[in-house]
């Protein structure tokens, strides 16, 4: 059983336009309204592929009702925590060449008691949980140490913890010793405070996060796949895809990786297959078994160390 923690959920609107021009009126050619927030997407991907997932989520206001309503179509065990502020709406504009422009709201403030109730709900729903996935940005009112504190509070449960976040929250989480972190290239570069231009630099940066406390690092590289660095070694895998919308691709990658044990190159291959499948689907649609093309994945037997990364 997987438990996902989404402190800052969203209702995601993906709007398709022919071409985005700043200042112009655009008539949308398509729109997708989907439950969002990284932990929620991970849960959606897991259940689409037959895994069991429980999603703990603070959800206030009419938008919170809408989010919970959107989630009823999935086989996710949803644990709703009451909150006063409304769930945010995130808008993504997608062009036919799969260029995405994202407008993510900060989210409503969580008060101290609401945050405590949220943590209590996570801890109360731990029985039977093997993996906790704590993912996404933190809304106003939630300290940067939230994920780090959660990792410490979850330690007695023995569950493994994967964290997908950015900035100071990622840095603090790494120090708390998570089983896995999943930065994308930009987030990894920010965490080590230097640009990353080659696979060697990506692997070195991932190694640095390991030396600071993370057991394993799954670094996503957009169209160039993903790199896994753990105590056993480092691997690079990638897969071709006809890109349509990259929203949620990172969440699909993480879900795929965890679905097959969350360790080693075979889990990396599954993650990359799910990530590539996700980009070929509209909006933040999570891939099911019929969408996944495992045969397209190449796990490189030797990393091409000097290969340039351009995401």
Ligand X SMILES: O=P(O)(O)OC[C@H]1O[C@](O)(COP(=O)(O)O)[C@@H](O)[C@@H]1O
Ligand Y SMILES: Nc1ncnc2c1ncn2[C@@H]1O[C@H](COP(=O)(O)OP(=O)(O)O)[C@@H](O)[C@H]1O
For ligand Y, the binding residues (CB under 6 A) are: 184, 220-223, 225-226, 239, 241, 243, 246, 249-250, 253, 272, 275-276, 279
Q: Does 285 bind ligand X (CB under 6 A)?
A: no
| Min dist. Cβ of residue 13 to ligand Y (A) | 17
Q: How many residues bind ligand X (CB under 6 A)?
A: 17
- Per DSSP, helices labelled H in the chain are 38-48, 61-71, 112-124, 146-154, 167-175, 185-192, 199-212, 249-259, 264-279
Residue showing the smallest CB distance to ligand Y in the complex: 250
Q: Give 183: exposed, middle or buried? Use CB within 10 Å, 0-12, 13-18, 19+.
A: buried
- Closer to ligand Y by Cβ: residue 12 or 114: 12
Whether the CB-CB separation of 149 and 122 falls below 8 Å is answered with: no
Whether the CB-CB separation of 40 and 9 falls below 8 Å is answered with: yes
Of 4, 14, 49, 137, the one binding ligand X (CB under 6 A) is: 137
Of 2, 4, 5, 12, the one binding ligand X (CB under 6 A) is: 12
Q: Does 139 bind ligand X (CB under 6 A)?
A: no
| Residue of 12, 67, 54, 68 lying closest to 245 (CA atoms) | 12
CA atoms 144, 257, 289, 98: torsion sign: positive
Instruction: From 16-24, 70-78, 109-117, 241-249, give the range in contact with ligand X by CB under 6 A.
Output: 241-249
Identify what 137 binds: ligand Y, ligand X, none; CB under 5 to 8 Å per kind. ligand X
The reply to whether 251 belongs to the active site is yes
Q: Does 136 bind ligand X (CB under 6 A)?
A: yes
Length of the chain: 311
Instruction: From 35-43, 114-122, 223-231, 235-243, give the range in contact with ligand X by CB under 6 A.
Output: 35-43
CA–CA separation, 22 and 262 (whole Å) = 42
Whether the CB-CB separation of 146 and 168 falls below 8 Å is answered with: no
| Residue of 113, 94, 112 lying closest to 103 (CA atoms) | 94
Q: Are strands 88-94 and 10-16 parallel, antiparallel or unpaired?
A: parallel
Find the catalytic residue in 12, 251, 291, 310.
251
Q: Does 63 bind ligand X (CB under 6 A)?
A: no
Identify what 14 binds: ligand Y, ligand X, none; CB under 5 to 8 Å per kind. none
Q: Does 280 bind ligand X (CB under 6 A)?
A: no
| Residue of 76, 88, 92, 69 lying closest to 255 (CA atoms) | 76
Whether the CB-CB separation of 280 and 242 falls below 8 Å is answered with: yes
- Closer to ligand X by Cβ: residue 103 or 124: 103
| Min dist. Cβ of residue 14 to ligand X (A) | 9
Q: Does 222 bind ligand X (CB under 6 A)?
A: no
| Min dist. Cβ of residue 94 to ligand X (A) | 12
CA–CA separation, 278 and 286 (whole Å) = 6
Of 268, 284, 285, 291, the one binding ligand X (CB under 6 A) is: 284
Instruction: From 4-12, 60-68, 260-268, 298-306, give the range in contact with ligand X by CB under 6 A.
Output: 4-12
| Min dist. Cβ of residue 164 to ligand X (A) | 8
CA–CA separation, 223 and 298 (whole Å) = 13
Active site residues: 251
- Which residues of the chain form contacts with ligand X (CB under 6 A)? 8, 10, 12, 36-38, 41, 90, 104, 136-137, 247-251, 284
């Amino acid at each position: 059983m997987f438990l996902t923690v989404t402190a800052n959920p969203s209702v995601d609107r993906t709007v398709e336009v022919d071409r985005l021009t700043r200042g112009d009126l655009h008539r949308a050619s398509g729109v997708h309204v989907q439950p969002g927030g990284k932990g929620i997407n991970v849960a959606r991907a897991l259940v689409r592929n037959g895994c069991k997932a429980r999603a703990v989520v603070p959800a206030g206001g009419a938008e919170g009702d809408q989010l919970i309503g959107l989630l009823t179509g999935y086989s996710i065990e949803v644990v709703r925590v009451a909150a006063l502020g409304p769930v945010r709406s995130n808008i993504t504009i997608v062009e036919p060449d799969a260029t995405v422009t994202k407008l993510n709201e900060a989210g409503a403030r969580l008060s101290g008691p609401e945050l405590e109730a949220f943590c209590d709900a996570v801890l109360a729903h731990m029985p039977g949980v093997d993996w906790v996935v704590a993912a996404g940005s933190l809304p106003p009112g939630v300290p940067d140490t939230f994920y780090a504190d959660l990792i410490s509070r979850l330690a007695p449960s023995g569950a493994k913890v994967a964290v997908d976040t950015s900035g100071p929250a990622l840095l603090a989480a790494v120090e708390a010793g998570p089983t896995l972190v999943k930065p994308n290239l930009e987030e990894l570069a920010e965490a080590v405070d230097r640009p990353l231009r080659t696979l060697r630099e990506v692997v070195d940066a991932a190694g640095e996060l390991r030396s600071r406390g993370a057991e394993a690092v799954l670094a996503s590289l957009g169209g160039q796949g993903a790199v896994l660095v753990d105590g056993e070694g480092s691997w690079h895998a990638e897969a071709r895809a006809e890109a349509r919308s990259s929203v949620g691709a990172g969440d699909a990658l993480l879900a795929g990786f965890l679905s097959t044990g969350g360790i080693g190159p075979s889990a990396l291959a599954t993650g990359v297959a799910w990530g590539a499948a996700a980009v070929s689907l509209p909006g933040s649609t999570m891939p099911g078994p019929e969408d996944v093309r495992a045969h397209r994945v190449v796990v490189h037997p030797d990393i091409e160390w000097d290969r340039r990364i351009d995401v």
